[in-house]
Amino acid sequence: RVGQVVRLPELAATLETVAQEGAVGFYNGWVAEAIAETAHALGGALSLDDLRSHTSTWETPIQTDYRGVTVYECPPNGQGLAALQALNIAEGWELGGLAWDSPERLHWLVEAMRLAFADARYYLADPAATPVPVAGLLSKTYAAERRALIATERAMQPPEFGTPPATSDTVYLSVVDGAGNACAFINSLYMGWGSGIVARGTGVHLQNRGALFSLDRPTPTRWPPASAPFTPSSRRWPRGRGRCGPVLA
């Protein structure tokens, strides 16, 4: 309620450990042990070895050009690819001459995103486990094929994923400094409160992005061991003629 003082001593202890020991203190120490024990007690498959073997990676962004502006996104397993696909589809329309809230403009943009998300739901997975046809999905030829499915007078039936040519509830911040250095950061539990589970003694809420794996059909998003699920998290930067373009949040 308004004015209430909230104290989270267990979470404070976790944050102090991270501040003093860095990532090692989270993924290898008592915090990791508590997370693994909590998951095991509730029938989960997450183990201490899973946490200890976690590594972060430096990735090369994917990109497309939209009317002279290069837009960068994080690669799969994130859904930034869908945003770039939608831009490629929308590039074929003269949206600048329409009011931002005109029915025609909104209809085209909604349909473009529906097509992009249909592909994302099928193709986006952990590229280390399942190849993602990024080049094909981002080709202008494929965008034109998808654009041709959109009618001006009616909405599509629920769209299916396409066949690209062969060749992947959130806190978000974007920061640009005076020298043109730019950083986009996103942190998410997926659904509200994630899995609804707090690792005992840590104050850490466990996320539930594993819900985006497929268990019952042979798709790229099936659940292979030690792989990352498709994630709707999407960070992007447009870059025009200057050092850094405006941020899309």
**Cα–Cα distance measured from residue 13 to residue 7, given in angstroms and rounded to the nearest whole number:** 12
H/E/C letters for each residue in 123-155?
HCCCCCCCCCCHHHHCCHHHHHHHHCCCCCCCC
Among 170, 219, 221, 231, the one annotated catalytic: 170
Indicate if 38 belongs to the active site: no
**Cα–Cα distance measured from residue 18 to residue 28, given in angstroms and rounded to the nearest whole number:** 11
Contact (CB, 8 A) for 229 and 79: no
- Output the CA angle 149-151-154, nearest 5 degrees: 125
Contact (CB, 8 A) for 90 and 67: no
Active site residues: 170
